[in-house]
Structure formats: C-alpha cells, structure tokens
Amino acid sequence: MSDDDRAVLRYAVASNVGTIDSSFSRDAAYAGPHLLVVAGGIQNLSSPGSASVIAVEELRRLDVRTDPAGLAVSLERGIEGLRKTLRELLASDSRWELTGTTVTAMLWRDTHAAIAQIGATRAYMLRAGELTQLTRDHTVGQVLVEEGRIRPDEVGSDTRHSAIVRWLDGTSEEPADITAHEAAIGDRYVLCTNRIDRVMSSITLRDIVRDTAKGPQDAADELAGMAFPAEKYGTFACIVADVGRQPG
C-alpha cells in the first residue's frame, strides 16, 4: 500500500506475556505495507510448535501489491494454504493434534481491503471517533445471540460463552469469513488476539485508540500494557494501523 498514489498505511505491533506459560498459548501478529494479521494460539501441552506463529509466517507471503479485485481471492487462497500446512503437520506428527489457530487478516490495496476471519480474534475500525467491530466472533456466545437465546449484553455472563466454535487446525473444514471493506483517509484500525473483551471494555478500547495524540505505536503499546494485568491465558498481541495520505 505504501507505493500507492492516494493512501499509505502506517502501522505498529505490540504484544505482552500473561501469567500462564506463553508456550501453551502463543499469540502472534504481523504488519506490513499490504497486510495486517493477528493469530491466536490453540495448543496442547505436547505440541511441537505454535500454529499461530506458523499462521503468521504463512500468511505474510500475501504482503504484496495486489489488484483490488483480487484481494478476497488472495486471502482465501492464503487461508487454504495454511489449512493444508496444518493438515500436513498433523499427518506427519500426532503431537499436532488439538493444536490450531484463530486468525484475523486484512489485505490492503490503497483504501480497498479484504478481511478474513476465523475464531475470536478481532478487527475494529475507528472512524469519526466511533469504534466499530468489523468481524464476527465464532464463539458460543455469538451463536446464542444470533439464535435469539441471549441478548448481546448477556454475552460473557457464562464462561462457556467464550468457547470458540470455528478455528484452523489439521482436521477442521470450516471456512473463514471473507468480506470486502472500503477504508477512508483518517480511519484507524485495530486487530487484536482473543479475549480483548475480557480484559477491557469497548469504551476503554475506543478511548485509547481515538486519542489522536497517540500514534500507532503508542496506542498499540497502551493496549498491550492494559491487557497484561488481567490477561491470564498466555500472550496478547495487537496491531494499530492508520490510513493516511501518501506524502508528496
């Protein structure tokens, strides 16, 4: 995106380690001129590696200039390539069983973007001071809301609500949600790994990211720092990215 005439993406990554051994649940993130991606780890104690780290390494290959009409297709192919890699790892080593990852990725060209979502990692947009969640959680709580069995404000009243119902691993076939998105100059985007809603309210998140005195790195560092005291489930990673005008 940095080589486009109209817009440039300015981005920063931050992470922090929680109070449980991070080798059990490793979250990962990558930000580049065309790609933003966060991945949440789902691991068993005998796993030989981190599926979330593998996800980021696989998907960062998409960080190239892509025609706007091909953004969604590129993301879909990237997700399927990652799924194939996880299948091959499981087929060659049973220790990869019950190990997987959740993913939120945004592939950019100018102010055009495609979003891939699977799991409970999230993407938010701040526009004109208002924060909007762009992704749909694949959790028990979200399913219950959509079925009309609980109200949105009741999500989180039961610990079972946070259980993830869709992810990527060596056996699952559930597709990622792929959506198109149109950005605007001045937008700010936040991508974060699982459980952000359990460590801070949406109002706190909004207030941090809408402070225009904070650049992407300061905002990302503050988010990661605030998540750390309450986060007990391994690592936390986030990206803050601003859409600005190309200088000159």
55 lies in a domain?
yes
Task: Kindly report the backbone phi and psi dihedral angles of residue 199, in degrees, each rounded to the nearest multiple of 5, phi listed first.
Answer: -115, -15
**Residue 101: both structure tokens together:** 């990852």
Domain assignment present for 81 = yes
Confidence grade of residue 42 (pLDDT, cut at 50, 70, 90): confident
How far apart CA 49 and CA 23 sit, in angstroms, is: 9
pTM: 0.92
Q: Check residue 25 and give its pLDDT.
A: 56
Name the residue among 10, 51, 52 with its Cα closest to residue 33: 10
Instruction: Report the number of distinct structural domains present in the chain.
Output: 1
C-alpha triplet 234, 240, 243: angle, nearest 5°: 160
* Identity of residue 193: T
Percent of the chain with pLDDT over 90: 63
Per-residue pLDDT at 21: 53
Residue-wise pLDDT for 6-26, tens only, equals 889 999 999 887 665 555 557
Residue 1 lies in a domain: no
Express each pLDDT in 124-164 by its tens digit: 999 999 999 999 999 998 889 888 999 888 887 777 888 88
Q: 248 in a domain, yes or no?
A: no
Please report the sign of the dihedral spanned by the C-alpha atoms of residue 103, residue 104, residue 108, residue 114: positive
The residue segments making up the domain with residue 61 are 7-242
Q: What is the CATH classification number for the domain harbouring 119? A: 3.60.40.10
